[in-house]
Amino acid sequence: MTAEQLRAARAMVRMEQAALANAAGISVETIKRLERMTGELSETRVSTIIAIRQALEAAGVIFVEENGEGPGVRLRKR
């Protein structure tokens, strides 16, 4: 996951930083720190990234991996 995907995913599901932190079981400060970064979140604990990703996926986000056009996010059909 990239910082850009994190910011975009949270915006797409209109989830506040505090709500995402609560859903992922991490601190709001962690979300803020990650969103200030750029590129791949490789310097972050894998368990933190997994928790964030699972929380956003539960909210309806689909993460699109690098496919020649760059990574991205989209919403799951309702």
pLDDT at 70: 84
In terms of Cβ atoms closer than 10 Å to its own Cβ (0-12, 13-18, 19+), residue 11 is exposed
* Residues facing 72 on adjacent strands: 64
- 59-75 pLDDT, tens per residue? 999 999 887 788 999 99
Please tell me the total count of domains within the chain. 1
Domain CATH for 26? 1.10.260.40
Query: Residue 21 sits in which domain range?
Result: 3-75
- 11-49 pLDDT, tens per residue? 999 999 999 999 999 999 999 999 999 999 988 899 999
